[in-house]
Amino acid sequence: MKTVVRLALVDPHDTSRSSLKSLMLGIDSIWLEAECSRYDFFFDVVTQTQPDIALVALDGDPAKGLALVARITQDVPTCNVLVISSSTEGSLILQAMRNGAKEFLSLPLKLEDVLTALERIRQTQLSRTGEAQVRSCQVITVAGAAGGVGCTSLAVNLGCVLARNERNSVVVIDLDFALGDSDVWLDIIPDYTIHDVSENISRVDYSLLKRSLTKHDCGVFLLPRPVQLDDSRSITPDTLKRVIALLKTSFTHLIIDISKNFGPVDMTALESANTVLMVTQLDLPCLRNVVRLMQYFETHEGLTDKIRILVNRVGLEDTQIGMNKALETIGREVYWQIPNDFATMVEARNNGVPLCTQAPRSKLTRSLEQLAQQLDQSANPKADEEKKPRKGLFSFLGSGK
Residue 312 bridge partners (DSSP): 281
- Same domain, yes or no: 383 and 294: yes
Q: Assess if residue 328 is contained within a domain.
A: yes
Q: What percent of the chain has pLDDT over 70?
A: 88
* Dist CA 279 CA 400 (whole Å): 10
Would the pTM count as exceeding 0.75? Answer: no
Q: How confident is the model at residue 399 (pLDDT cuts 50, 70, 90)?
A: very low
What's the pLDDT tens digit per position in 174-220? 999 999 999 999 999 888 899 888 887 766 666 677 788 999 999 99
What's the pLDDT tens digit per position in 133-170? 456 789 999 999 999 999 999 999 999 999 999 889 99
136 vs 60 pLDDT, higher one? 60
Exposure class string for 189-222: b at 16+ Cβ within 10 A, else e: ebebbbbbbbeebeebbbeebeebbbebebbbbb
Q: What percent of the chain has pLDDT over 90?
A: 56
Q: Assess if residue 392 is contained within a domain.
A: no
Tell me, what CATH number does 307's domain have? 3.40.50.300
Q: Assess if residue 305 is contained within a domain.
A: yes
What's the pLDDT tens digit per position in 37-59? 999 999 999 999 899 999 999 99
- Same domain, yes or no: 179 and 303: yes
Residue 311 · residue 281 · CB < 8 Å: yes
Residue 117 · residue 80 · CB < 8 Å: no
Calculate the average pLDDT of the chain: 86
**Strand positions, DSSP E, 110-181:** 138-144, 170-174
- Same domain, yes or no: 349 and 212: yes
Domain boundaries, position 74? 5-129
